[in-house]
Amino acid sequence: MTEFVSDRQIFERVIRDLVPQVERQLWIATADIKDMYTEHPGKGRKMIPFLEVLADLIARGVEVRLIHAKEPGPAFREDFDKYPLLIDGLERMLCPRVHFKCVICDSKIAYLGSANLTGAGMGAKSVKRRNFENGILTDSAALLTPLIEQFDAVWRGDHCVACDRKKHCNDCPMV
């Protein structure tokens, strides 16, 4: 299965439906990250911070990794502090060169596309406030394998030795 998704479909298919069902690992890469709200899994349309979904996954033993390019804003940090499991359980890496966006679920299915991990980017906002975004939702090994390798190479710090931005990257193992 490989399909094109855009705007609200990204929110519905990836954030609302796919992410809460992850069993082993969730890897997310984004340039920008902001406080985003989603529907509560299993409780209808009650809106909760997406960070609560991540905390619930961590509580179930899911490995959650997040690579982002810049520090999130105050609303994100305020919600982050409400979920103590995130402090030690959410594996985060700040890499100012990351601009790719993906959500990889259990190494079996992934979204890759233009949307940052923000409400406007992922289609969580109203039709008048969301961005025009698109991407691919796939379980194709031909797409998943290089995507997983790209994420893992950044995570391992493979690019840090030759990076000219090391002084801006607190998480770089080479600093």
- CATH assignment of the domain containing 7: 3.30.870.10
pTM assigned to the model: 0.93
In this prediction, residues 171-175 reach a mean pLDDT of: 57
**pLDDT on residue 41:** 72
Parent domain of 99:
2-168
Question: What pLDDT, in 10s, does the model give residues 22-39?
Answer: 999 999 999 999 999 998
- In the predicted structure, residue 160 carries a pLDDT above the cut 90: no
Q: Name the pLDDT band for 161 (thresholds 50, 70, 90).
A: confident
Q: Does any domain span residue 153?
A: yes
**pLDDT on residue 103:** 98
157, 172 in Cβ contact below 8 A? yes
Q: How many domains does the chain have?
A: 1
Q: Does any domain span residue 175?
A: no
**pLDDT on residue 172:** 60
